[in-house]
Amino acid sequence: MKIFSSLLIISRPIPKEPVPFKEMLPLKLRATVSGKGGKSSDVCCIHEMSVMFACFKENEFNQDLCSKEVEKFQMCYKDNLKTSKTKKEREAKGVLTPGEKKLSHKQLNVLLKKFPNVK
């Protein structure tokens, strides 16, 4: 008897749209991107660091004998700081450099404004 009743339910006509669709947001892509999740890791000079540590271990942490490696490591860090600073400034202004693959949200917005969606 139970099975029969359930079969009856299936045979009932299903309403065509049980939940009517409402367009809350316009169904198209926006012409901008938000600035969320723009953080990237600044890990740098790992190779130089490992070379320096290897030298330190050989010479029992005497820094004078590893001056070459130490200088290389420090130069690498300084260069990295400089480049990241200039990059940050450019990204904040939204300056586009041709051939750049990783863009910040501001740069992307500049690019999207230049080539807007066809309406």
The footprint of other proteins (CB under 8 A) covers: 39, 41-43, 45-46, 49-50, 52-53, 56-57, 61, 63-64, 70, 73-74, 77, 81
Minimum CB separation of residue 46 from other proteins in Å reads: 6
If the CB atoms of residues 57 and 93 are measured against other proteins, the closer one turns out to be 57
**How many residues are given for the chain?**
119
Minimum CB separation of residue 81 from other proteins in Å reads: 7
What b/e string do you get for 34-72 counting C-beta neighbours within 10 Å, with b at 16 or more? eeeeeeeeeeebeebeebbeebbeeeeeeeeebeebbeb
Minimum CB separation of residue 91 from other proteins in Å reads: 17
Residue 107: which of 52, 40, 38 has the closest Cα? 38
If the CB atoms of residues 32 and 63 are measured against other proteins, the closer one turns out to be 63
